[in-house]
Structure 1
Amino acid sequence: MRRQAHQPDRQQLIGRLRTAHNNSALSLEGERCMGNANRGLTGMEQPVETAEVLASSTRRAARLAPTSPQPGVPIPDMVDRLPRRAAAWPATVWWLGVHGGAGESTLAGLASGSRPADHAWPIPTANATAHHVVLVARTNYSGLIAAQRAATEWAANTLPHSISLAGLVLIADTPGRRPKPLRDLEQVIAGGVPQVWHLPWVNAWRFAPASPLDPLPNEFRQLFADLSLTTTSSTHAQN
């Protein structure tokens, strides 16, 4: 009897995730005026990859991805947009956590020359200055939806031209394989941003902050290499 009592809740969750996948905020009405670069915004991206492929690499290869805002993307409501803050400080990369606990401070502490954006778009104060931004989110349902909204905000061309989106970092929220509805939702979001990196769950960081002196998983090193960042552990070693 106890198993039957919990079954409707599980089915409701699965239904909710599938509804979010099918009726995504990134979806558009039809495909008019849409090219291959927009397929992630319409939910019509390439076939879903297996979890094994996703786990083997942090980068999504051989797919067309938009590198700039796309025509035809509906402008999101103000309530669905992230705040904006003036940012005068220089940074090679700004990590923009799209929700609380996304991991922006952890990444900033591990990569020299990068900064956390404090959950807001870092708008440059100086003329002719561009800020390179990487969205950061956890792979649970609420984290993915927050990433989806931020990607829509960028794709709809609502941000100043001084903001350059490099991609999206998805950090595992639990160890192990994610449910298929979540992986499907990831695929939809991934088709609407320039690049996606998948970072693994690090159990040691549940008990203590990430230390630059600890060995980093390969996925983190690959992320920093792709963004031309050096790890703070390398900086400590040189000093």
Structure 2
Amino acid sequence: MPAPDQVDRLPIRDQRPSPAVWWVGAHGGAGESTLAALTPGWSAASGHAFPRHTDRTTSQVVIVARSNAAGLRAAQNALRQWGAGLTPSNVLGLIVIADAPGRIPRILRDRAAIIGGGGPRTWHVPWIDAWRFEDPTSVPIPRDLQRVFDELRALPDIGATGTVN
């Protein structure tokens, strides 16, 4: 897979190997810190960088992006960076979080499907209106998002408790 230009690559930052899953925001406002807040104990936000464990073990990451054109372009660059072997991480998949209420326009849905094909799996999270008005940790986790968390915990590299196997 061709690597993105240097300017389009996410940085790599040293992290202590603690969570089972790292959420990697492909761009600002992607939602990685919200996902980490909803899954305390088994995940963490790495910000907008691929984590490199200080003990050189491989980190398990999920790339997070919004469903707008800029977010999808950033996700594509992050997946290309990983696909070109330029990250110390194992990408488990891509989460595309709706950037607005309502149905995502077809052109963006199609683009997300093509970009998501560059990774092992893609999850789509619809717009969650309650998050605009309340702290996401104070409202029930929507079913669509809970399914994503459950699927991640069921992966071979992640245990049911969210610990690395």
TM-score over 0.5 for the pair: yes
CA contact (8 A) 2:34 2:136 kept: yes
Pairwise CA distance, 1:215: 1.5
Q: Match for 2:144 among 219, 224, 231?
A: 219
* Structure having the larger proportion of residues in strand: 2
Question: Is 2:113 the counterpart of 1:187?
Answer: yes
Structure 1's consecutive aligned runs of 4 or more residues displaced over 6 angstroms after TM superposition are none
CA distance in 2, matches of 1:202, 1:93: 22
Gaps of 5+ in 1: 1-72, 230-239
List aligned pairs for 1:1-239, cutoff 5 A. Answer: 73-112=1-40, 113-127=42-56, 129-160=57-88, 163-211=89-137, 213-228=138-153
Q: Between the two proteins, what is the percent identity of the paired residues? A: 48
Could you tell me the TM-score, scaled by structure 1's length? 0.62
Q: CA deviation at 1:208?
A: 2.4
Q: Which amino acid aligns with 1:147?
A: A
What displacement does 1:89 show? 4.0
Partner amino acid, structure 2, of 1:215: P
The aligned residue for residue 27 of structure 1 is none
Q: Equivalent residue of 1:193, what SS? A: coil
Decide whether the 8 Å contact of 2:17 with 2:55 is kept in 1.
no
The number of equivalent residue pairs is 154
Counterpart Cα distance in 2 of 1:115 and 1:167: 15
Normalising by structure 2, we get a TM-score of 0.88
CA drift of 1:180 comes to 1.5
Task: Please give the secondary structure, in 1, of the residue aligned with 2:153.
Answer: coil
Partner Cα distance (1:181, 1:227) in 2: 28
**RMSD, matched Cα:** 1.5
Structure 2: any 5+ residue segments left out of the alignment? 155-165
C-alpha displacement of 1:80: 0.9
CA distance in 1, matches of 2:101, 2:75: 20
